[in-house]
Amino acid sequence: MSINLLHRHVLEDYISGFETDPNPNHVAVSRRPVIFSVLAHRGQETAVAEALGSAHGVVLRFCSPSEWLLVSRTAGPATVAGILSDIAGASFADQSDGRVLMTISGPSVRNILGKCVAVDLHPEVFAEDYSANMLFCHVAANVARSGPDTFEIIVPRSLAGSAFEELLEMGREHALTRGFSD
């Protein structure tokens, strides 16, 4: 007997039925990104960071001096696991189901995020490709700048509904729309 198992995104209840054309300020949720936690063992931090930096098809999100999130929208989990297995001094765990990735963009993005995080996101301080762990709407999140007016936010799955609702509330005055990106 084979069982057909359907994958369900935690934010489906928050997005289904609300699909509209995106406004200038929009938050897009990725359905099945690949996200891994990567840990560098003692003394291997620099080597692991360098090896991760040169990997193709993945982006690196800084969590702490020896911990990153590796994100890919193109490579599959097996491919990413393969890349990671080849890096000496690194351990990793698949978090693709444990994290929710959303991309918020638009002209008011910093005003909206100012209500969600306490960190200065001015481009002089938090430039493109910067990322850090921070409190986002009461939830521990990783926030990265992926463009002049675009940020990627990664939150734990169990708290994603709360954080997403709060983000939408904070985006109300800027007519923030929502949707899945794929």
Contact set with other proteins (CB under 8 A): 1-10, 32, 37, 39-42, 66-67, 91, 93-99, 111, 114-115, 117-120, 122, 125, 137-139, 156-159, 161-163, 165-166, 169-170, 172-173, 175
Minimum Å distance from CB 172 to other proteins?
A: 5
Minimum Å distance from CB 116 to other proteins?
A: 9
| Cα–Cα distances in angstroms (integers) from residue 79 to residues 14, 22, 150, 152, 160, in the given order | 31, 32, 27, 22, 26
Where are the alpha helices (H) located in 27-156, listed in sequence order?
45-53, 77-85, 109-114
Smaller CB distance to other proteins: residue 23 or 56?
23
Minimum Å distance from CB 56 to other proteins?
A: 24
Minimum Å distance from CB 23 to other proteins?
A: 13
Smaller CB distance to other proteins: residue 55 or 119?
119
Smaller CB distance to other proteins: residue 6 or 21?
6
CA distance 29 to 107: 18
The secondary structure element, H or E, covering residue 13 is helix 12-15
What is the DSSP secondary-structure string of 129-178? Answer: T-EEEEEETTEEEEEEEEETTEEEEEEEHHHHHHHHHHHHHHTGGGT-EE
Smaller CB distance to other proteins: residue 56 or 60?
60
